[in-house]
Amino acid sequence: MNTEVAEPSNPDDNLCVYMKGAPERILSRCSKILIEGEEVEFTDELRREVNKANSTFGGLGERVLAFAKYKLPCDKYRKSDYEFDIKFWKNWGLDPKQTLSHYEDVPGHFPMHDMCLVGVVSLNDPPRLQVDLSVNKCRAAGIKVIMVTGDQPPTAAAIAHKVNIIRNPDKEFNKMVERGMDKQQAWAESESVVVHGDLLAEKHLNEDKLDDLDPEKGRYLLDWISKREVVFARTTPSQKLLIVDAC
């Protein structure tokens, strides 16, 4: 997620905060949406419409970015005399469930919540040529290929299918659950699984108090990588290390 405070071309206009990043990160910080040049309430219906577009683009294997902005009031935020916090600003902007009221009295703050969604953009970034053939050769040689990516799950699953890491998308665990199958049955019958990095982080945090010698510590990760076809999406560098250690 990238954030910038930009000066207007007209010095009499407001400064503006611009933010771009993963849709699920940006949308959670928006309370308004820009429609035909007007900022209106970001209702549940509009959220469903935007999320549907995001899922549709992701399902095509496209990478999606969301963009938001916040026009700063001139009476408080003037670049000439307001000292923006550029060192510790992430400390009060981490929690997407917050609102501006949680930190508006912090010196140097600028809004990272209650923003206005400008829109989403999809980018076509296809896999390199012959990656699918390389994956098939690895599989034929008895090598298991696990995909670890920063893409969102729908995009990751679509790309994994294009390069033969996931051969039958209908047999992916989460899709089977979405179709109404019991989780236990879906796990037993599924051939692949796409794991969100947030779920990995949650599971890892829950096991933090277990002794390192406890055989149940990390069991969730071993279960995931035991699947025939595995994709990890929205992963962080530290999570990638956990996956490598588990392998």
Cα 185 to Cα 71, 124, 157, 171: the distances in Å are 50, 35, 21, 12
Angle at which helix 153-162 crosses helix 44-59, to 10 degrees, equals 20
Is there a single domain that holds both residue 140 and residue 234?
Answer: yes
Torsion of CA 105, 109, 111, 112, to 10 degrees: -120
Find, among 234, 227, 153, 229, the residue nearest to 197 by Cα: 234
Rounded Cα gap, residues 30 and 24, in angstroms: 10
Whole-number Å distance between alpha carbons of 143 and 113: 45
Query: In terms of domains, do 70 and 119 share one?
Result: yes
Domain boundary among 88, 123, 158: 123
Which of 92, 123, 154 is a domain's end point? Answer: 123
Rounded to whole angstroms, the Cα distance separating 156 from 90 reads 27
- Buried/exposed 33-43: b ≥16 CB within 10 Å, e otherwise: bbeeeebeebe
pTM of the model: 0.78
Same domain, 144 and 81: no
- Span 104-110, mean pLDDT? 82
Stronger pLDDT, 77 or 42, i.e. the higher one: 42
What's 112's domain CATH number?
A: 3.40.1110.10
Average confidence score pLDDT of the chain:
88
Question: Cα–Cα distances in Å, from 201 out to 56, 93, 153, 183?
Answer: 26, 19, 15, 20
Residue-level pLDDT at 120: 95
25 CB neighbour count, 10 Å cutoff: 15
Distance set, CA 29 to CA 23, 131, 173, 195 (Å)? 10, 37, 30, 24
> How many domains is the chain built from?
2
For the segment 50-68, what is each residue's pLDDT rounded down to a tens digit?
Answer: 999 999 999 898 999 999 9
Say if residue 180 is in the same domain as residue 116.
no
Q: How confident is the model at residue 85 (pLDDT cuts 50, 70, 90)?
A: confident
Looking at residue 227, its pLDDT comes to 94
- Return d(Cα 200, Cα 23) in angstroms, integer: 19
Picking from 100, 123, 146, the residue at the C-terminal end of a domain is 123
Give the residue from 25, 63, 243, 220 showing the smallest Cα distance to 148. 243
Distance of alpha carbon 158 from alpha carbon 123, whole angstroms: 14
Residues 106 and 196 placed together within one structural domain of the fold: no
Can you give the residue range of the structural domain that contains 42?
2-123
Nearest-angstrom CA–CA distance, 111 and 92: 10
